Amino acid sequence: MHKAVSENLVSCFLLLIGASLFPCHAMAVVTNGPNAANTVLVDAGMLEGSRDNNVFSFRGIPFAAAPVAQWRWREPQPVEKWNGIRTAKKFGNACIQTPGLSEKNGGSPGKISEDCLYLNVWTPGLQQGAKLPVMVWIHGGGLVFGSGAVPGYGGDSLAKRGAVIVSINYRMGPLGFFSHPALDAENTGMKNFGLLDQIAALKWVQKNISAFGGDPGNVTIFGQSAGAESVLALYSSPLARGLFHKGIAQSPYGIPGHTLEKARNVGVAIASELGLGGIRASAAQLRAVPAEKFAEFQKPELNLSPGFIAGDAALPATILDTFQKKQQAAMPLIIGNNSDEATVATAFGVDPAKVIQGLGKSRIFVKPLYPKVTNDKELGRQVMRDAVFTAFARRISYLQSQRAPVWRYYFSYVQERLRGSQPGVGHGGEVPYMLDTGNTCACLPVAFSKSDSNLAQRIGDSWVAFARTGNPQVSGLPQWQRDSVKNDRVLEFSETITLRKSFMQPRINALILGLKAAD
């Protein structure tokens, strides 16, 4: 994760614990002799894709106009229609981000450009009216890096199970989440442009996915890290109502969203850093800045990642506030996290032992919650995981369970050939299993074993079953009971898949009480 993201995450963590217990797209390529069997008609024109191993793929489909020049920091605009047949065999550009950052944290996002609002579709067939379940993947990356083209996010495997898979791009960093006085009036107060892009992609799905055999009335959104946080933001957004029907949130984080005042201050600081006079900068001056400049800001005071901005029409309140007020979408949800989520911080030199030492006298309240932990490094690793991820997943699960069915999981299955070399499953380590891409992505340090592949097969089956029916239960899994306030139930994906009752309950209860006090 980006250094500023990591620093913001850790500083928020310390704060919480310390307060208690701790203009247009590139021209379409027109073919002279298209393969009619690989073509579809969408609202903007005809597309030609590819077919491989009985899966059709369509890459680099524009779902909105390029957000450049006068369209920077505006709501997504409609795509201009094209003539002829547009070739959709290559991924579109990734949105502006620090070059190399995604490669270090999951894989290459592809070519980077401000012209980046593209999506990709994988489908087992092109029969209109097939009404296959649709799954829309939202990539992670702290809202500052990544794309739908990262190798581990391929949709082939899940598509072979009978689902239509979509991966999307969205604006990130200051180009995706930004506030400045010069922009307020013309944008009617919009700040979360990246979230608006996600909503625009879901609207495209509603209009066009039937051409790929998908059912617009059965759409599941799913994502990891910032993608999971995006899932919860879409549950919270009034503008996303009716655009999806279920969700899967893999490792969302309990980092508070930003106030309008904080976003304004950061925007003014960025304008000062650019030499534009801070608050005196005009919209024209800000839009004239080369897009790449907005990927250079690494100081925390110039960065809003990894949180959304609360207070605009896309996200009127923070995610947690919305769920507490029961104003979120009443849709089924799967939510969970991994056993070593602290890697999101340690990868950038944050020492878990120093985190514990930084708690000062509060350490005496934390240590009894982890009686089997004997050193500060391991204690810090586990406390960071639970305070930022495990407790937040349970908190959201309990709130959502009052409105709709919820299933909670905990992923502790370490890849077979890596056992003994790492303490648990790091942040993002579950993705090759949930998408069942471990055998094809060339994105892992060692190859999947038969045991790894078997687990990925079962989880992939479960995710598609949930998308199809609203229930993740499949053959090969123990009975996965719903999670609720009265019935604490977690399915642990480990070497043995086990349904846990009252999972980590004493420590999570204590952490939640502490986090509530810090809200």
pLDDT confidence of residue 106:
87
pLDDT confidence of residue 5:
55
Are 205 and 217 within 8 A, CB to CB? no
Are 384 and 355 within 8 A, CB to CB? yes
Residue 2 has pLDDT above 80, yes or no: no
Long-range contacts made by residues 478-482, C-beta under 8 angstroms, separation at least 24?
Answer: 480/407, 482/401, 482/405, 482/406, 482/407
pLDDT confidence of residue 35:
67
Work out the average pLDDT over 229-258. Answer: 97
Residue 447 has pLDDT above 80, yes or no: yes
How many percent of the chain have pLDDT more than 90?
83
Reported as a pLDDT band with limits 50, 70 and 90, residue 6 is low
Reported as a pLDDT band with limits 50, 70 and 90, residue 329 is very high
How many percent of the chain have pLDDT more than 70?
92
- The helix (H) or strand (E) run that includes residue 458 is helix 450-469
Q: What single-letter amino acid sits at 263?
A: A
The upper half-sphere exposure of residue 143, i.e. CA atoms within 13 Å in the direction of its Cβ, equals 33
pLDDT confidence of residue 270:
98
Are 192 and 308 within 8 A, CB to CB? yes
**How do the domains of the chain map onto residue ranges?**
3-418+508-518
Q: Which residues pair with 132 in a beta bridge?
A: 214
Assigned token pair, 108 = 């290459």
pLDDT confidence of residue 9:
55
- pLDDT tens string 341-387: 999 887 667 788 888 888 887 788 899 999 999 899 999 999 999 99
At a CB cut-off of 8 Å and minimum separation 6, what does 147 contact? 91, 94, 95, 102, 109, 110, 116, 139, 169
Reported as a pLDDT band with limits 50, 70 and 90, residue 430 is very high
Among the options 180, 245, 258, 427, which is catalytic?
A: 427
pLDDT confidence of residue 248:
99
pLDDT confidence of residue 7:
56
Among 98-107, 322-331, 424-433, name the one with the lowest average pLDDT. 98-107
Among the options 75, 341, 430, 492, which is catalytic?
A: 341
Among the options 102, 179, 225, 401, which is catalytic?
A: 225
- pLDDT tens string 133-176: 999 999 999 999 999 999 999 999 999 999 999 999 999 999 99
Longest CA–CA separation in the chain, Å: 73
Residue 506 has pLDDT above 90, yes or no: yes
- Report how many helices (DSSP H) and strands (DSSP E) the chain contains, helices first: 18, 14
Would residue 341 show up in a list of annotated catalytic residues for this protein? yes
Tell me what the pLDDT averaged over the chain comes to: 92
Buried b (16+ CB within 10 A) or exposed e, 99-116: eebbeebbbebbebbbbb
- pLDDT tens string 16-71: 444 434 333 333 444 444 567 899 999 999 999 999 999 999 999 999 999 999 99
Would residue 225 show up in a list of annotated catalytic residues for this protein? yes
- Would the CA dihedral through 466, 470, 474, 478 be positive or negative? positive
pLDDT confidence of residue 184:
86
Query: What fold characterizes domain 3-418+508-518?
Result: Rossmann fold (3.40.50)
- The helix (H) or strand (E) run that includes residue 60 is strand 55-62
Among 211-225, 339-353, 473-487, name the one with the lowest average pLDDT. 339-353
Among 204-218, 345-359, 388-402, name the one with the lowest average pLDDT. 345-359
pLDDT confidence of residue 294:
97
pLDDT confidence of residue 388:
94
Residue 1 has pLDDT above 60, yes or no: no
- pLDDT tens string 134-143: 999 999 999 9
- pLDDT tens string 83-124: 999 999 999 999 999 999 999 988 999 999 999 999 999 999
Work out the average pLDDT over 231-243. Answer: 98
